[in-house]
Amino acid sequence: MADPALDRTHHHPAPGGPPVGTGTPTVDPKAGASATSRPPAKAGAGRGSALLRRAGRTAAALPAVAVFLYLLAPLAVLALSSLNSTSSLSFPPSGLSLRWYSEVLSSPDWLVSFRLSGVLVLLVVLTTVTIGTLAAYGLVRGDFPGRGVLSGLALAPLMVPEIIIGLGLLYYFQGLGLVNTLPGLWLAHSLVALPFVIRTVMVSAQALDPTLERAAATLGAGRVRTFLTVTLPLLRPGILAGAVFAAVTSLGEVAVSALVSGSNTTTVPVRIFSAVQFQLDPSVAAVSTLLMLVSVLVLVAVDRFTNFSEVL
């Protein structure tokens, strides 16, 4: 039987202490006052700040959109002009037709220029990638006197106007009998495109971790095997970027080609330049659109399988 005294002690707290066993939670008066004095959050304020942030992002993106439209507008005009059904190069076109693409692809003169430019691109890419990769790796990782001077000389064609390079090559090739020849165009295009390959490969070589090469050497790999199995795969983004730049440079070279080429070695850009001067019709726009599509497809394909955009 329960003791009444114990029962009374359980239900009556000590003097000055909090109530015990009543089941009612205690509330601090100061905390309650601060909680009740805080104003309720307004849903409209958060919605308004989100709208302001969105408007700020939109306003910041407008200059970039304007720049892209400015850059793409001439290309869009050129592509639409190539579909003109009339014989005049005008915009907007009076009608849409693939007539000029058919004429270009069936013209013997244009086909010869296409083949010549294609062969030149292959030769220039192979030459510049081989020489440029070795030169860039040596300039970045080598330690020898005059390395800074050699780096400046390797990138010097980027600082000189192409018309001056073409004029110098014209005088030089005349004494060697290389004017109006495929080897002359090959050497000229390689000279112009080589600095682009060296520059892009140098970017990849500067980001190369030397401990990976040292690890391969400690595992017994020689210098050649280390370079082929470790260094080259790590330099692949820069090499591919340089190859794309070399191909685009060779495919669009006009100033140097016009001075060292001739009637038997007329590349596509030189033929376009001549056609614009003497025969301005939509066939020129059709050829330019084809070259643009090929360049875009190559860039998309390369960027699809490598981190090409990071090197750029």
Contact predicate 140/202, CB 8 Å: yes
Q: What is the number of alpha carbons within 13 Å of residue 213 lying toward its C-beta?
A: 17
The full DSSP string for 241-281 is HHHHHHHHHHHT--HHHHHH--TTS--HHHHHHHHHHH--S
Return averaged pLDDT per consecutive 10 residues of the chain, 312 residues in all. Answer: 47 49 49 49 62 74 81 82 74 76 85 91 93 89 78 82 88 87 91 91 84 80 81 85 88 87 85 79 83 81 65 53
> Rounded CA gap, 84 and 90, in Å?
8
Q: Is the dihedral of CA 291, 292, 295, 301 positive or negative?
A: negative
Q: Phi and psi of 243, rounded to 5°? A: -65, -40
Which residue bears the tokens 């939109």?
58
Q: Summarize pLDDT for 233-246 with one digit per residue, the tens.
A: 888 888 888 888 89
Residue 123: what pLDDT?
A: 94
Residue 139: what pLDDT?
A: 87
- Smallest CA-to-CA distance from 217 within 230, 204, 234 is with 230
**In this structure, how many other beta carbons lie within 10 angstroms of the beta carbon of residue 56?**
10
Residue 312: what pLDDT?
A: 54
**In this structure, how many other beta carbons lie within 10 angstroms of the beta carbon of residue 282?**
26
Q: Summarize pLDDT for 178-191 with one digit per residue, the tens.
A: 888 899 999 999 99
Q: Phi and psi of 159, rounded to 5°? A: -95, -15
> Rounded CA gap, 111 and 201, in Å?
34
Q: Which two tokens stand for residue 258?
A: 């016009």
Residue 1: what pLDDT?
A: 45
Residue 60: what pLDDT?
A: 73
> Rounded CA gap, 20 and 66, in Å?
73
